[in-house]
Structure 1
Amino acid sequence: MNPYSEIQKTFEIKNGIKMYNFEKCLRALQTLGNYHFGNRFKIYEEDLPVIRKLVIYAIRDTATMIQLDINPNKALLLSGPVGCGKTSMMFLLNYFCPPQSSYKIKPCREVAFEFAKKGYEALIPYTQKEHKQIKLSTYCFDDLGTEKQIKHFGNECNVMAEIILSRYDSFIHEKSLTHVTTNLSASELEAYYGDRVRSRMRQMFNLIAFDVQSKDKR
Structure 2
Amino acid sequence: MDNPSKIIEDDVEYSLGDFDGTSVLYDFDKILIYLNAKGKLLFGNHFRIYDEDKEIIRKLCHYFIKDLENCKKDDIDPEKGILLSGPVGCGKTALMTLLRHIEPTPRPYEIIACRNIVFSFNHLGFKTIEDYGNTKSFCFDDLGIESPGRFYGKDLNVMGELLLSRYDLYLQSKRRIKTHATTNFSADEMEEFYGNRVRSRMRELFNLIAFDTKAGDKRK
Q: Deviations over 1:19-38 (max 9, x none)?
A: 11101110111101111111
C-alpha distance in 1 between matches for 2:115 and 2:16: 35
Letter in 2 for 1:150: G
Identity level (%): 44
Pairwise CA distance, 1:61: 0.8
- Cα distance, 1:89–1:5 mapped onto 2, change above 3 Å: farther
Paired residue for 1:206? 207
Q: Considering fraction of residues, name the structure with more helix.
A: 1
Structure 2 counterpart SS, 1:92: helix
Question: Any residues of structure 2 matched to 1:187-198 within 5 Å, and which?
Answer: 187-198=188-199
Alignment of 1:68-217 (within 5 A): 68-99=74-105, 102-128=108-134, 136-174=135-173, 175-217=176-218
How far, CA to CA, are the matches of 2:124 and 2:24 in structure 1? 45
Structure 1 pair 7–190 and aligned structure 2 pair: CA distance change class (3 A) = farther
Q: Does 1:59 align with 2:65?
A: yes
Q: Name the amino acid aligned to 2:181.
A: V
Tell me the matched-pair count.
211
1:216: Cα distance to partner?
A: 0.4
* Structure 1, unaligned runs of 5 or more: 129-135
Matches of 2:190 and 2:160, distance apart in 1: 10
Q: Does 1:42 align with 2:48?
A: yes
Alignment partners' CA distance in 2, 1:127 and 1:79: 22
Q: Aligned in 2, Cα 1:6/1:50: closer, same or farther, shift over 3 Å?
A: farther
Could you tell me which amino acid in structure 1 is paired with residue 145 of structure 2? T
Q: Displaced runs of 4+ in structure 1, greater than 6 A? A: 4-7
Relative to structure 1, is the Cα distance of residues 156 and 96 closer, same or farther in structure 2, using a 3 angstrom cutoff?
A: same
What secondary structure sits across from 1:83 in the alignment?
coil
TM-score where L is the length of structure 2:
0.91
Greater RCO (Cα-Cα under 8 Å, separation 6 or more): 1
Task: Letter of the 2:193 partner, please give it.
Answer: Y
CA RMSD of aligned residues (A): 1.7
